[in-house]
Structure 1
Amino acid sequence: MNTTNTYSNEALQQTQSVRAPWRERALSTALVCLGLAYALSWAEMGLALMTGPGEPVAALIASRALIGGLYVCVAFRLQWARWITVVLGFASVVLVGPMLGAEWRAFPVAALVTGVVLVFKLAASIFLLSPDASHATR
């Protein structure tokens, strides 16, 4: 079976040049969302420490450092980091989202920060899942 190219090279180049900004925009928007979620996670940690030492501080700092390293790998456009970030983003929304009501009754400000972090993680996961974001990876 033979296939023919029904588009001229000029039309293909024009189509690719139109899609290129969207690819970069999807990735850059995802990185902005990840950065905001990361910055707010430090504020969330501070709010958690205000309520009392529930977890060791070293573990809280280490987990945020590891997530920060993962987000740097996403910024370097590594495919494995992108997929891990997508899975972790959806998992955090599914697992933490239902607990926001109980957190709201205990500490409304922390629940608000946690909810905003979840929104940014969900948005970043959706943008990283888009096929256009995957073309910009290595």
Structure 2
Amino acid sequence: MNATHPSRRSPSLPGAAVRRQREARGTRRAPLEPASARRFAVALACLGVSYALAWIELPLGQLASTPTDGASAASSALAAALIARLLVGLLYAFVALRHAWARWLTVALGFASIVFTGPLLPAEWHVFALGACVTGLGLAGKAIAAILLTLPLRTRHDERP
């Protein structure tokens, strides 16, 4: 029983459980310094733009595919693309909640997508210019977001007694 044990009582409120204070502290995030908050907001906006462009790439990819492709191969590729975009959206939601693991995973995936997809843009340009523009803009958004997310997020500390 939490309330009866003297070591588990809050020093400021006699009889109050420490567990409640820990839960309240865990759910709040410390506010960011103004410069860090601006950088984080810009990074989130870039991630949002690249995420929206990733969804625009889906129908463009269907337009660019040849009709000789098998129907089952096209449907499984579409299902994989949908699931991948949903998982990336979930990852970006954790970034917005300021989880460090999600932030660094997003940075790693952003740089990996730039390294592996960037060299393919000239070939895509010759085949489907609109698709290359959408892909290039998405890569630019990921690059900007990855660079901004590598910078430290400094929290503001209140100096109240």
TM range (shorter): 0.7 to 0.9
Aligned to 2:148: 127
Match of 2:113 among 77, 86, 92: 92
Output the TM-score relative to the length of structure 2.
0.69
Aligned to 1:5: none
Output the TM-score relative to the length of structure 1.
0.80
Match of 1:33 among 40, 46, 52: 46
**TM-fit CA distance, 1:108:** 0.3
For residue 40 of structure 2, what is the amino acid of its counterpart?
Answer: L
Paired with 1:114 and 1:46, the residues of 2 have a C-alpha distance of 13
SS in 1 for 2:98: coil
Aligned to 1:73: 94
Gaps of 5+ in 2: 1-31, 66-73, 156-161
Q: Work out whether 1:108 is the aligned partner of 2:129.
A: yes
Paired with 1:112 and 1:74, the residues of 2 have a C-alpha distance of 26
**TM-fit CA distance, 1:55:** 5.7
Q: Work out whether 1:48 is the aligned partner of 2:69.
A: no
Percent identity of paired positions between Structure 1 and Structure 2: 45
Paired with 1:122 and 1:54, the residues of 2 have a C-alpha distance of 30
Which has the larger share of helix? 1
Paired with 1:104 and 1:28, the residues of 2 have a C-alpha distance of 31
**TM-fit CA distance, 1:45:** 1.3
Which stretches of structure 1, 4 residues or more, deviate above 6 A after TM superposition? none
Aligned residues: 116
Gaps of 5+ in 1: 1-18
**TM-fit CA distance, 1:51:** 1.6
Alpha-carbon RMSD: 1.5
For residue 24 of structure 1, what is the amino acid of its counterpart?
Answer: A
For residue 127 of structure 1, what is the amino acid of its counterpart?
Answer: L
Cα deviation digits, residues 28-86 of structure 1 (max 9, x gap): 10000000000000001110011223862111100000000000000000000000000
